[in-house]
Amino acid sequence: MTGTRRSLISLRDLTAAQLTGLVEAAVRVADDPGAVPPTLTGTVVATLFERTSTRTRTAFGVAALRLGAQVLDYGPASLQTNTGESAEDTARILGLMLDGVVIRSTRTVAELARMRDAGNLPLINAMAREEHPTQAVCDLATLRRHRGTLDGIRVLYVGEGNNTASALAYALARIPGAELTLYTPPGYGLDAASLAAAEKDAVPGARVRQTHERDELPDIADCVYTTRWQTTGTVKEDPLWRQTFRPFHIDEDFLSRWPRAVFLHDLPAHRGEEVSAAVLDSPRSLVWQQARMKLDSATAVLQTFWGTSTT
């Protein structure tokens, strides 16, 4: 094991240049996947997924194997945290035996940071309660590869202000001239603290704003993005919450307002709820390229943070 390996807990810990470097690394992997060197040879890493996952879990497992690592896969009932052992004590043990852990959890970003510190344990946040940083790296890489540049990109996010939304806000706030509009249902928006953090970190010309009103949506968008209405690991208390979300359904009529915009969705999708099948499977949809980019971006993250060239 090495003491030089780093952690990715939040995009707020990265500079704009570091985020851009991750995105560009993901694009390079996508353009030439056969050129990926085995920079994790001789390491043992774990994927610890306390919540369900298809794309992220598969992407990090495959990426680690292709980079030469041996991989242990822990599920939600694998470790003694399931019987009451503290996360910090568990991290101490894992830090003595592993070279790093990719973790998906409903724990907070602060809790993941405490695990990292308690066990001197390199961690990659594959989704925490408030932020999904590796999803945002994937999203930006997908748009960068399609568009050629991210500078000045205008993104309309539609739906719940969840951990994907916060990561997208932190990421786009670091792109020169980028504009992100979060169009969220009343009572289900991105929290004020996350919005303030994105605004605080914004580079010159970047802008993040939120609205609950359709008549306040931008006239121009390069990308329309949505997520499923029921965020992984959460439960909505209001039994009528679907009625609140229904006006945020994306169909061909909604998307027609931005005729040049591509469509993104972090998946899984529930056709007929947040998006129509006609939009999801349309020529304007980059969703399946975006899903594939999960592997390329996971590879870039592991190379950058845990590869043998990391210092």
Domain locations in the chain?
Answer: 11-131+294-306, 135-291
pLDDT of residue 283: 97
Q: Which residues of the chain have pLDDT under 70?
A: 1-4, 232-233, 309-311
- Span 11-131+294-306 CATH architecture: 3-Layer(aba) Sandwich (3.40)
Asked, colleague to colleague, whether 11-131+294-306 and 135-291 share their fold, the answer is: yes
pLDDT of residue 106: 92
pLDDT of residue 1: 38
CATH topology of domain 135-291: Rossmann fold (3.40.50)
Residue (of 206, 125, 111) closest to 167 by Cα position: 125
CA 20 – CA 67 distance, rounded (Å): 22
pLDDT of residue 5: 75
Return contacts of 51-54, CB within 8 angstroms, 24+ apart. Answer: 51/76, 51/104, 51/105, 51/106, 51/127, 51/232, 51/233, 52/232, 53/104, 53/126, 53/127, 53/232, 54/267, 54/268
DSSP line for 58-102: HHHHHHHHHTT-EEEEE-TTSSGGGGT--HHHHHHHHHHH-SEEE
CA 226 – CA 31 distance, rounded (Å): 26
Render pLDDT for 229-243 as a digit per residue (tens, 0 to 9). 987 667 888 889 999
CA 125 – CA 113 distance, rounded (Å): 10
Render pLDDT for 37-85 as a digit per residue (tens, 0 to 9). 999 999 999 999 999 999 999 999 999 999 999 999 999 999 999 899 9
pLDDT of residue 311: 35
